[in-house]
Amino acid sequence: MNDLAMATTPTLTHFLVISAALFSIGLLAALSRRHAIYILIGVEMLLAAANLNFIAFWRYGAPSPQPTGVMIALFSIAIAAAEAAVGLALVIAVYRHYRTTNVDQFTSMKG
């Protein structure tokens, strides 16, 4: 870690570590809270962490004529937006039905 802190400009590893941390925080939000919206917040963070990786690899990888990393990040943002819309609609629909957003109480699928 020492050489990381010493570098004058951030390297790929810096970004990967940040992305990993963001990913873990997203996972934390998605796993440890009972409110359905926290789960969605967590999932959004997971996707953002992945996007950060795409961009970082695009920037630090070998230069290519196609900005593939950027493109994938863009599509991923679009998909995340779709996911958020449907997910939140589901939360509202479920809330109307169960009158709660506590995911621990959605147990109709319990095996």
Partner 1 sequence: MSTVAFFAIAIFTLAAALAAASFSKLIHAALCLALAFIGIAAFYFSLGAEFVGLAQVFIYVGAVAVLIVFTILLTRRESDAPVQFKWSGAVVALAVFAGLIWAIFKSPLPGGAAPAVAPLTVKQIGESLMTSYVWPLQCVGLLLTGALIGAVVLVMDEKP
Partner 2 sequence: MNPWIVSNLWLIPAIPLAVALLILSLNNSRRSVCAALAVIGQAAAFILSVVALVPTLGTPHYLAFVNFTWFTFGEQALRLGWMLDPLTAVMIVMIALVSLCIFVFSIGYMAADKNFTRFFAYLSFFSAAMLGLVIANSLLLLFICWELVGLASYLLIGFWIDKPTAAAAAKKAFITTRIGDMGFFLGLIWLYHGTGTLLFYDRGAGCMEPAALAGLGPAATSIALLIFCGAAGKSGQFPLHVWLPDAMEGPTPVSALIHAATMVAAGVFLVARVFPLFNVGAVHGVTASLTVVVWIGVITALMASLIAIAQADIKRILAYSTVSQLGLMMVSLGVGGVAAAIIHLIAHGFFKALLFLGSGSVIHACHEEQDIRKMGGLRRIMPLTFVTYAIGMMALSGVPLFFSGAWSKEEILHQTAHWPGGPWPYYLMLLGVVLTAFYMMRQVIYVFLGRPRGASEHAHESPAVMTIPLIVLATCAIVFSVLLTPAWPWLHDYLMGETARFDARLLIQPVLFVSLVLVGIGIGFGWFIYGKREGEIDPLQRAQPGVFRFLEEKMWIDEIYASLVVAPARFAAAFSNFMDRYVWDGFVRIVGGIGQLFGIITKGVDEQGINSGVDEATTGLRGIGRIFSAAHSGQIQAYLGAVAVGMLALLLLYAWLV
Q: Nearer to partner 2 by C-beta: 63 or 111?
A: 111
Comparing C-alpha atoms, which of 15, 46, 17, 16 is closest to residue 29? Answer: 46
Q: Nearer to partner 2 by C-beta: 18 or 27?
A: 27
Q: Which of 2, 43, 50, 92 binds partner 1 (CB under 8 A)?
A: 92
Comparing C-alpha atoms, which of 88, 85, 111 is closest to residue 35? Answer: 88
**Contact partner, 110, from partner 1, partner 2, none, Cβ < 5-8 Å per class:** partner 2
The answer to whether 104 contacts partner 2 (rule: CB under 8 A) is yes
Residue whose entry in the numeric block shows the structure tokens 């873990």: 24
* Cα-based distances in Å from 101 to 28, 62, 80, 98: 18, 46, 21, 8
For partner 1, what does the binding mask look like between residues 32 and 71, x meaning CB under 8 A?
A: xxxx-xx-xxx-xx--x--xx--xx-xxxxxx--xx--xx
Comparing C-alpha atoms, which of 106, 76, 79 is closest to residue 91? Answer: 106
**Contact partner, 88, from partner 2, partner 1, none, Cβ < 5-8 Å per class:** partner 1
For partner 2, what does the binding mask look like between residues 7 and 46, x meaning CB under 8 A?
A: --------------------x--xx-------x-------
Q: What does the alpha-carbon distance between residue 1 and residue 41 come to, in Å, rounded to a whole number?
A: 30
